[in-house]
Chain A
Amino acid sequence: MTTKDIIKPENLVYGKTKLLTDNVMHYCPGCSHGVIHKLIAEVIEEMGIQDRTVGVAPVGCAVFAYNYIDVDWQEAAHGRAPALATALKRLNPENVVFTYQGDGDLAAIGTAETIHACNRGENIVIFFVNNAIYGMTGGQMAPTTLEGMKTATCPYGRNTDIYGFPLKISELLAKLDGTCYVTRQSTHKTANIVRAKKAIRKAFENSMAGKGTSVVEFVSHCNTGWKMSPVQANAWMEEHMFAKYPLGDLKDTEKKHYEEPAK
């Protein structure tokens, strides 16, 4: 059987989902953002919620996310995506609202909005892409940068005496009563991508069931900022990032609901 005989529509086992637009993504070759965009688009298509899903785009590399996933979008001010998502969800509770944020957006300038949205238990989904660096602005140190990791603004490695420690924001959010599902995933291998997709689906289902805030963190790489090839960056991430940011579910429960005091 020749290759030409195999390439027929009925034999297709994997292809681009219709929810991803035909625009070529502006991300660097090999960027984890592409895989995460693709997974979110696939899950939305499988769940059939395209017409009532609203995404909130961040400031950062993913600022043009609205060009790539064919759902409704809002663009938030830097770090304020969870605040905007709160309004979108409260005003139209039938909508499925998610934010898509990087570590500079969610863990630095938007820490307050993130923590308070999670603490209020808003029924939104927060996708947090953690690549330990400010990718868009040229590879500066982020709160999540690993100890000793070299960036443009700490060329001798992050010194924790001066700059503090890597911020484990998912562990922080898992402690809050408002969150129902906090998980950390990765997209460097096929098996991890399949697990990440299941986590995305679960997060959307929690949001629709009104269980509270779901946070899905993706440990990802920035091969340009790290000055490596995409394959090397994946290997480096596996070796160094997972020690500080271990993969797996951090929390899986329902938020605590307010109980009326007995009269």
Chain B
Amino acid sequence: MAKFKGAVVVDTERCKGCGLCVAACPSKVLGLASQVNAKGYNYAEMVNEDACIGCASCGYVCPDACLSVYKVTL
């Protein structure tokens, strides 16, 4: 049982779907959406919400600063 629980909010219009956050996530929380944003990119989204531990690895590697990470201690 994880002691931390996190959540990621993606600024979908800023996201360019590079996939670096998907590769950086240690808990395999993120994935690329099947929908596209106004610029035609498959933006990142949480596909496995329960596994997020709020480590913010995705936020650090994001080149477009489109991820906000929230974390609570259980």
Using a CB–CB cutoff of 8 Å, the interface residues on chain A facing chain B are: 1, 3, 5-8, 11-17, 20, 24-25, 27-35, 38, 187, 189-190, 193-194, 229-231, 234
CB distance from A118 to the nearest CB of B (A): 28
**Interface presence of B47 (CB below 8 A):** no
Pair B5/A14 contact, Cβ less than 8 Å: no
Using a CB–CB cutoff of 8 Å, the interface residues on chain B facing chain A are: 5-7, 9, 11, 13-14, 16-20, 23-24, 41, 46, 49, 54, 56-57, 59-72, 74
Bound complex: CA of A12 vs CA of B56, how far in Å? Answer: 10
Decide yes or no: A30 and B19 within 8 Å by CB, A1-B74, A38-B65 being known contacts: yes
| Inter-chain contact total with CB atoms closer than 8 Å | 95
Bound complex: CA of A229 vs CA of B34, how far in Å? Answer: 18
Among A3, A14, A229, point to the contact of B19 (Cβ < 8 A).
A229
Q: Which residues of A lie under 8 Å from residue B60 when comparing CB positions?
A: 14, 35, 190, 193-194
* New A-B contacts (19) at CB < 8 Å, excluding given A11-B72, A32-B63, A38-B62: A1-B72, A3-B46, A3-B49, A5-B72, A6-B5, A6-B70, A6-B72, A7-B7, A7-B9, A7-B70, A12-B68, A12-B70, A13-B71, A20-B65, A24-B64, A30-B19, A34-B62, A190-B57, A190-B61
Q: Which residues of B lie under 8 Å from residue A32 when comparing CB positions?
A: 63
CB distance from A97 to the nearest CB of B (A): 24
Among A14, A20, A28, A234, point to the contact of B69 (Cβ < 8 A).
A14
CB distance from B33 to the nearest CB of A (A): 14
CB distance from B46 to the nearest CB of A (A): 7
Pair B71/A30 contact, Cβ less than 8 Å: no
Bound complex: CA of A20 vs CA of B14, how far in Å? Answer: 13
Among B56, B57, B59, B64, point to the contact of A25 (Cβ < 8 A).
B64
CB distance from B59 to the nearest CB of A (A): 4
Closest 3 CB pairs of A and B: A34-B63, A30-B18, A29-B16
Bound complex: CA of A33 vs CA of B16, how far in Å? Answer: 14
Q: Which residues of A lie under 8 Å from residue B65 when comparing CB positions?
A: 16-17, 20, 34, 38
